[in-house]
Amino acid sequence: MFRIDRRLIKNFDWITISVVILISVIGILTIYSATRPISDEGHSGFYLKQIAWLILGLVALLFIISFDYIWLSRFSLTFYIIGIILLLAVFISGKIGTGAQRWLSLGFISFQPSEFFKLIYIIMLAQYLSAVKSQIDAISLLRAFFLITFLPFILLVKQPDLGTALIVLTIFASLILAKGLYKKVAILFVIIALISLPFLGNIFWGGLKDYQKSRIAAFIEPEMDPTGIGYHLNQSKITVGSGKFFGKGYLQGTQGPFRFLPEKHTDFIFAVFAEEWGFFGSSFLLILYLILILRGLDTAKKARDDFGRLLALGITFMFLIYSFINIGMTLGLMPVVGIPLPFISYGGTAILSNLIAIGILINIRIRRLELFH
């Protein structure tokens, strides 16, 4: 099961790993700048923790590529059950922070189960869909939703982790479409979705916390309360705009260290980066993400089996959705839903789970040839 083959080194995806490391280094530098002290007080040390998590994540990445990814399919149900148990454990002994109960504590360390679960969910859904040998019929679609998607979606909404819950639904729809639906099933699915939308909207809105409703209201009309619920969005747009074309320069930004911008090293870190590096630097970062996405799609195209193809697509869609929503949120084009920017935002659980996901992508790519069977 666990063996290092010289062919793995020869076929290793150096492009993907190089892009990911470069983005991660940019993230560490930006975290350092965003959290640097404005006086003689000591540095918060967030960047040091991020470096430690990056190193741990790279070790996990190397471990993941050491065995054939087909083992993920065989243990997918076990992973899924463990993931559900962890999501349930959050309601029993989870830590509460920023209005949400999302973290589990092991004493010396805290982690967010939902960050790992999104990857577990992709593995489970890819395994299920790959077992369907033809296009998806109505029964297969309902099974995929109610047996795999519905329970974790409800648990994530109740935490509440609205961002991850929406991403789970988006990945579900994306992989269903990638697998292929019978035409009649697709038409029926669209009709049911349109009919159910008003009712689901009322249920969904009623289940939101007050701060989540405020975020949506701020997105619709940021100027309604510029010092309250609209402050995040307004301050973020000011920060991005102040960078202009070439930016103010590294460690020259003011919005982060002077505490004008809330959540400057997590959800709104792109605004700090844009202030210091401007449109030019932001475009460079977007190009790096584009390379990562295109590489993921190419990996899916060249996968040796349907499970590998769907797994690569699911991971690639995840990075695409996270990047799109976070940057759109920073620019005021999306509501604030607590979505981090992959490999840039501060967060140990997030960078660890994302590097494991990259390890799976590389695993699929280097084993795309039949000689690895």
What local confidence, expressed as pLDDT, does residue 2 receive? 46
Question: What letter represents residue 148's amino acid?
Answer: I
Per-domain residue ranges of the chain: 6-39+48-372
The segments of the chain whose pLDDT lies below 70 read 1-8, 38-43, 94-101, 107-108, 192-193, 196-230, 256-260, 369-373
Spacing of C-alpha 302 from chain mean position: 23
Candidates 215, 212, 213, 124; CA nearest to 168 is 124
pTM of the model: 0.89
Residue 40's contacts (CB-CB under 8 Å, 6 or more residues apart) are none
What local confidence, expressed as pLDDT, does residue 1 receive? 45
Q: What is the DSSP string of 206-241?
A: HTS-HHHHHHHHHHH-GGGSTTTTTHHHHHHHHHHH
CA-to-CA dists, residue 109 to 44, 49, 104, 354, 356, angstroms: 17, 12, 9, 18, 19
What local confidence, expressed as pLDDT, does residue 371 receive? 44
Q: What pLDDT digit, counting tens, does each position of 15-51 carry? A: 999 999 999 999 999 999 888 876 656 667 889 999 9
